[in-house]
Structure 1
Amino acid sequence: MPTRPTLLYDGDCGFCTRSVRVALRLPVAVTPLPWQAADLAALGVDAARARGQVLFIEPSGRVHGGAMAVAALLRRSRGLWPVAGAVLALPVVRTVAAAVYRTVSANRHRLPGATPACRLPREQWPAPRE
């Protein structure tokens, strides 16, 4: 396992790639990696999950997905960001954050930076390298 967290995202999606670039401006040590180039088995991640949501993989192997991946990233940052991550993980906020994440994910092809790959139905998504 890596010694720093891995941020696994859809490298074919322009919106996702831009979002990761914004996240990398945070004061946090994380390794960004498109799932298309990842050794998913070594990361302990299921291919369907890697295709379906952003993943934050801790060095211990614990995996956070979707909105909770964002919360985990914020909690590992410096400054006041960990407070935002903790708030995002609160039960009521977590439920709302998950709904917002699902809505954004389902409509990412309509958002700035979208690419044709964002528009593909799930059954046509490329298979990850195993």
Structure 2
Amino acid sequence: MRTRNRPVLVFDGDCGFCTSAVRVIERRVRPRCDVTPWQRADLAALGVSAERAQHEVLWVTPVGRVYGGAQAVARLLLSAGGAWSVAGAVLTLPPARWAALGVYRLVADNRHRLGGTAACTPPGGQPPRA
């Protein structure tokens, strides 16, 4: 596995909600990482499967450790420094970690209702309304 200099944030580039959220994060939080949609990422080089990348946002460290979902968000906040890193640190500790997991899953499972696209619809779910 190749070592990178910076962590990589991998998100769903086909999802309008995810893309908008990442753009806001890039402007306001300013994490120290490379950002790429999973559809354009070399997932094999990152050590993640397409199934996992479709399921949750991923944070891949330079040495290849992978964090998903709420813990990926926590790592992203930690990388930004300042007050953001305090928020990220809190999200790594119980009970905030457990709450973050629940909130993340709730948002992820309903992103097609939050401005997502048809690509965001969970299996067996309803597509977004036009």
Please classify the TM superposition score into its range, dividing by the shorter chain length.
Answer: 0.7 to 0.9
Equivalent residue letter for 1:44: G
Partner residue, 1:20: 22
For residues 40-85 of structure 1, the C-alpha deviation after alignment (integer angstroms, 9 at most, x for no partner) is: 1100112211111000111111111000000000011122111000
Q: Which residue of 98, 101, 126 corresponds with 1:95? A: 98
Is there any run of 5+ residues in structure 1 with no aligned partner, and where? Answer: 123-130
The separation in 2 between residues aligned to 1:96 and 1:50, in whole angstroms, is 22
Distance 2:90 2:32 in 1: 21
Answer yes or no: is 1:39 the counterpart of 2:24: no
Find runs of 4+ consecutive structure 1 residues off by over 6 angstroms.
none
What do you get for the CA RMSD once the two structures are aligned? 1.3
Alignment of 1:40-119 (within 5 A): 40-111=43-114, 113-119=115-121
Provide the residue aligned with 1:126 in structure 2.
none
Tell me the distance in 1 between the aligned counterparts of 2:111 and 2:122: 11
* Separation (CA, whole Å) in 2 of partners of 1:15 and 1:35: 15
Aligned partners of 2:30 and 2:111: how far apart in 1? 26
Q: Which amino acid aligns with 1:18?
A: S
Shift of 1:110: 0.5
Give the TM-score normalised by the residue count of structure 2. 0.87
C-alpha distance in structure 2 between counterparts of 1:120 and 1:103, whole Å: 12
Count of matched residue pairs: 121
TM-score, with length taken from structure 1: 0.87
3-state SS of the aligned residue for 1:80? helix
